[in-house]
Amino acid sequence: MGEGQVATGYPVPPNMRVQRARSSASPLRSPLTRHPPGGTGERVGGLVVLTLVIGALGCPPYGDAWIHFGGTVRSTTGDAIPGARVEIHVDGKPPRPDEVGVANDSGHFSFFASSCPCEFQAEVVAVAPGYARFRKSLSGKEANRLETLEITLAPLRTAQ
């Protein structure tokens, strides 16, 4: 093996480090007050900011923190109800866009919405013109574990 080569046989690159001159006449800070960039002070500050952001937003979605289920909306006669709107209301708040589903031509709907592993209450609401409103209350754990929900809508009774 020749000079300037490492054990792998590849040439050793030349040392390209350049010593920089100081650009100002100010004295160096003492080693006791000088902190390297990215030192523990910046890391702790970043960690504090991250903790505050997570605390302000609530609990982050991770693990089983997803409302991910589907099902079919049918009438009491078993016919699919295309266009039925299915919503998830978390803690009584209006649904976000990912918490709204519309049944397709075969009545099928599905959700994939982020949720919180914290305790919360969810309510599944289904509506379609000409049918009575469907409501089902779920705890946060039930909503996160739900895989299939079959919804049956009763026709509205008309006054005669």
pLDDT at 129 over 90: yes
**In the structure encoding, which two tokens stand for residue 141, read together?**
């754990």
Q: Could you tell me which residue, 39 or 73, shows the higher pLDDT?
A: 73
Domain count, the chain: 1
What digits encode the pLDDT tens for the residues 36-62?
555 555 555 665 555 555 544 555 444
Say which CATH number the domain at 98 has. Answer: 2.60.40.1120
The answer as to whether 117 is a domain residue is yes
Cβ-contact 155, 131 below 8 angstroms: yes
Any domain includes 55: no
Residue 148 maps to a domain: yes
Domain that includes residue 94, residue range:
66-153
List alpha helices for 28-134, DSSP H. Answer: 40-57
Within-domain flag for 46: no
What per-residue confidence (pLDDT) applies to 10? 66
Is 43 within the bounds of a domain?
A: no
Q: What is the pLDDT of residues 81-123, one digit of tens each?
A: 999 999 999 888 888 888 899 999 999 999 887 776 567 888 9
pLDDT at 125 over 80: yes
Whether 81 is in a domain gets the answer yes
In angstroms, the Cα distances linking 135 to 19, 45, 55, 89, 126 are 72, 46, 31, 10, 7
Helices (H) and strands (E) in the chain, counts: 2, 9
Q: Tell whether 41 is covered by a domain.
A: no
CA–CA separation, 26 vs 19, rounded Å?
Answer: 18
Q: How far apart are CA 138 and CA 88, in angstroms?
A: 10
Does the predicted TM-score (pTM) go above 0.75?
Answer: no
Phi/psi of residue 62, each to 5°?
-155, 165
Mean pLDDT for 152-156 is 95
Residue with tokens 């959700």: 111
> Confidence class of residue 154 from pLDDT cuts 50, 70 and 90?
very high
pLDDT for the residue numbered 52: 52
- 47 located within any domain: no
